[in-house]
A and B are shown apart, each in its own frame.
Chain A
């Protein structure tokens, strides 16, 4: 049962009265509950002095919720250390001892700045972006009152939500000069890509059996294409040059009468390289092949126009443009009509291409994020380009640092740099105060070198020593300066520990060495 002083309870009663503001349902519900509670407390009388004392008591309850991620980070590093030390006990081989000593060295490389906070700088905008507060502001009302199902067309709850959905659809379409009717909401770019690669192929499978894509696509396109092999399709994976760009002649040569789809991403998620989308679109249109582009990293960040660029299908992800996670879209051209078989069967929502009830808060947040991308385009572009130039200049001032991917055909917000003679993973561990990634989020969990950098012809060592820096709307000058300083210092420190670096300093050509063992 409820215990406590009478004054306290009165205070609680008063503050819950404050909570019931203008919602009739909540109001009645709460009043019924409060009355029940109070009835069980024999006679409650209001003594004004006690009430004000209690009000203070209740007001003392802190409303702030603090999230301490340091604790989580510490936990993880302990787990890692324990794993390292137990394996060390089991078999103390030379290489493991070396790993241990180098991880001790890393502790020295990472110096905490006293007098400053501890949360890392976020520089991984290709993995995901922070949700813009203006986007959250749009979403809030869907959690507090606008809860109707947008597909209910018999009452006002459905209509009002549906109106917001259509508003969002228009914002999403406007950014690529599409018609709102051509936008299908999905759960993200992964679903959009799968819908296209599998859906178009399956629809045309009676007459066509060939798909063209590239080696540097996101895993979800590569894997979807690979799974179509099992359904009897032939896939051509186009190679890229050392800049990460495909060869248009190569594309032309590979188009067959049985080709149903060409899928080339607009901006690469690891190296930021921008493919010649307009030229590819022209080639595809001329050959009457559908052209799909994965624009997860490009949408809203570089100018895109589905009509000028002859794009038939385009994948979008909301969480790359400061919107909520778990939502995205697919642009499907209506004239000339692109037909595809849906992945999901059901109620026939979204032109029958993606059944299932939409998530209005996410859709509206996504729409607002798209609107903001348009509104802020000039400002964002200027800001990101400035920071990117500053960062690139700072990082390339390090000896033997190279920019991966084309220096001219790129989105400036993604900078991928290799630091020779330093292992990327060690550097990342020494950079616990900066949130970075050594490649795409999906491959960084494994220690394999990036397949994208391999496709560019980089050797294992360089692919291993690459780090991706992602700059966005919310990145500041101060952060970039901090990052440059930290990288320069720690690359120097790690190289001093490296025997390879010593040899390089002595002028020994590493390629001339015969390595023993593996």
Chain B
């Protein structure tokens, strides 16, 4: 095959971007969910070896990132009161 997968730095960068954009959600439940899922899925795929599988995973990550970018903006546009479990000051 010889397909060239993303470098380690590229993967790390994608991970950081996913976390950063998850944090931008104004909605507590969505924010926590995307943080949890981003961490979970990177951990689960940590030991991927097959280069095609890595490329597929990376591309899916890029798609997810673009969804997160758009939807975190929407979450900031239409806001609601904070939940009873959310501290008011110093919250993200």
Contact = CB atoms under 8 A, between A and B. Distances in A.
Interface residues of A, number: 35
Contacts of B28: 476
B29 A68 contact: no
Contact of B81 (A69, A113, A136): A69
Interface in A471-507: 473-476, 478-479, 482
Interface in A116-143: 116-122, 130, 133-134, 136-137, 140
Interface of chain B, main secondary structure: helix
A472 to B, nearest CB: 9
Interface residues of B, number: 29
A116 B78 contact: no
A434 B30 CA distance: 18
Residue among B30, B67, B83 with the most chain A CB within 10 A?
B83
A115 B85 contact: no
Nearest to A432: B84
Interface string B63-78: 0000110110011111
Contacts of B81: 67-70, 117-119
Interface string A31-70: 0000000000000000000000000000000011111111
Contacts of A64: 76-79
Interface stretch (B1-9, B12-20, B32-40, B45-53): B32-40
Contact of B32 (A67, A119, A136, A476): A476
A270 interface: no
B88 A63 contact: no
B66 to A, nearest CB: 9
A136 B74 contact: yes
A113 B33 CA distance: 24
A479 B85 CA distance: 7
Contact of A476 (B25, B29, B78, B84): B29
Contacts of B30: 130, 133, 474
B67 A133 contact: yes
B86 A379 contact: no
A65 B78 contact: yes
A67 B75 contact: no
Contacts of A476: 28-29, 32, 85
Contacts of A379: 37, 40
Given A64-B76, A65-B77, A117 B89 contact: no
Contact of A67 (B78, B88, B89): B78
Contacts of B79: 64-67
A475 to B, nearest CB: 7
Given A379-B37, A475-B29, A69 B70 contact: no
A80 B89 CA distance: 33
A482 B85 contact: yes
A120 B29 contact: no
A478 B85 contact: yes
Contacts of A182: none
Nearest to A483: B85
A115 B37 contact: no
Given A116-B83, A119-B82, A121-B85, 4 more contacts: A130-B29, A136-B74, A476-B28, A478-B85
9 contacts: A66-B80, A67-B80, A116-B82, A116-B86, A117-B86, A130-B29, A133-B67, A133-B71, A474-B32
